[in-house]
Structure 1
Amino acid sequence: MTSNLSWMVPGIALMLAGSVVAQQPPEVRRVVTKLDPTGKAVVMFDGAVQLKGFRSPNPAGEMWVTDKSLPDFNWSADRALTKVGLVPPKNGTIFRIVDFVPLSPGAEEKMDINLMMKVVGDHAPAKGFPPRHPMMHRTRSLDYAIIMSGEIDMLLDEGEVHLKAGDVVVQQATNHAWVNRSGKPCRVAFILMDSQEP
């Protein structure tokens, strides 16, 4: 199964060309359960999701998408194929996995500091806070991040946090950038929930 990646920003790969170390990420096995007409728990989907890079150097894929704060579970289609952007649908959620490729030495210095400002638009850093890194952005969402493997740095307006496999982050609509300086891929699972503007 290939998930919908319409949220990937056109042109970002060209801006980052030559700045990353390319590696093929492994597939993710995804199991989705549901209730059958008799009320029994059954498997709805069980298969591999191949994370795709498309227009971004970081392969990613949706695992599931909802467009209601209280899902009714009347879905028969694969919700991972729902067309979504970077942010969750209004009152909805996105469950996404991203493989952050490691930046090659010197890549950050070569990037345009306003990269995400130019290509992400509405999701660029909040006004009044100039980006301190080319990948700085924000979403109007409550995000749970689980570092599944590898290591990554989360940059904020002030300071940064080094994260390793097993660490979790609760991000409340804050400016941030994910930067992999480890030399190895880092896989992160994200659950994004639509929220009000802080």
Structure 2
Amino acid sequence: METTADTDNVQHAQADGYRPVRRIITDTNSDGKSYFLSDQPAPNRTARPGLPVAHVLWATGEARAPGAEPAPAGHAFEFHSRGGSLLRIVDFPPDETYDESQLKQFLDANGVRDRSNPRHFWFHKTESLDYAFVLEGEIWALLDEGEKLMRAGDVLIQRATNHSWANRSGKPCRMAFVLLDLAEGEPL
């Protein structure tokens, strides 16, 4: 049974202004009955000044942390998980708040930045099939050719293409991403 205390602990904003992501995990007991294993803020949260706030809620494949918790606090994740999947919630601040040099360093460290003089600083490409859901706010999805405004409830199927996210709204945008590794030769 859910109590007020269960939801209160994730409704309040952190010092950076973004509220935690509530992660509820189910399991099966020894009698074969399903139950709620946990209900708490996601432990893996990365917040660096000038960059988006990212929460990895679950991981399978090579990126998964060893042990019972696949996404513990402090575990570093690449953009996707080879041989598996990542579930990530990202809070994108407005574009004007980014530290572009720090973002480029981050993208370079992950080997995904577009270095061909892209039209936006976030342009990158991963070898993954990504389901991108806008949960709150709005954001522009940019490709090499064209862009689309996405609002809460919209979904983008990103098929290992060069892309960028532009938050021109002046307000944060929260998105959910399911990133699936692509097997060699797998059709998109």
TM-score exceeds 0.5: yes
Shift of 1:27: 1.5
What is the identity, as a one-letter code, of the residue corresponding to 1:189?
Answer: A
Runs in 1 of length 4+ with deviation above 6 angstroms? none
Change in 2 beyond 3 A, CA 1:117/1:87: closer
Q: Which residue of 1 aligns with 2:144?
A: 157
Match of 1:77 in 2: 68
- Could you say which residue in structure 1 is the equivalent of 2:40? 47
Instruction: Mark the runs of 5 or more structure 1 residues left unpaired by the alignment.
Output: 1-21, 69-74
Structure 1's 35 and 180: CA in aligned 2 closer, same or farther, altered over 3 A?
Answer: same
Tell me the matched-pair count. 165
Would the aligned equivalents of 1:30 and 1:47 in 2 still touch at CA under 8 Å? yes
1:189 correspondence with 2:176: yes
Contact 2:20–2:42 (8 Å) recurs in 1: yes
What amino acid maps onto 2:158 in structure 1? Q
The CA distance in 2 between the partners of 1:52 and 1:115, in whole Å, is 17
2:122 to 128, 135, 141: 135
**Counterpart mapping for 1:72-111 below 5 A:** 77-81=68-72, 83-104=75-96, 111=100
Contact 1:154 1:177 in 2 (8 A): yes
Q: Deviations over 1:116-146 (max 9, x none)?
A: 6972452123x8x542221100110000011
- Show CA shifts across 1:35-69 (max 9, x none): 1222110112210237431365211110101118x
Change in Cα spacing, 1:175 to 1:197, as seen in structure 2 (3 Å) is: farther
Tell me which of the two structures has the higher relative contact order, counting C-alpha pairs closer than 8 angstroms and 6 or more residues apart.
Answer: 1
Gapped runs of 5+ residues in structure 2?
1-14
Residue 58 of structure 2 is aligned to residue 64 of structure 1: yes
Query: Percent of aligned positions with the same letter in both sequences?
Result: 38
| Distance across 2 between alignment mates of 1:41 and 1:182 | 42
Instruction: Select between 29-38 and 141-150 the one with higher mean Cα deviation.
Output: 29-38
What TM-score results when the alignment is normalised by the length of structure 1?
0.71
Contact (CA 8 Å) 1:64, 1:96: kept in 2 or not?
yes
1:146 and 2:122 are equivalent in the alignment: no
RMSD: 3.0
Partner of 2:7: none
Q: Specify the code of the residue in structure 2 equivalent to 1:168.
A: V
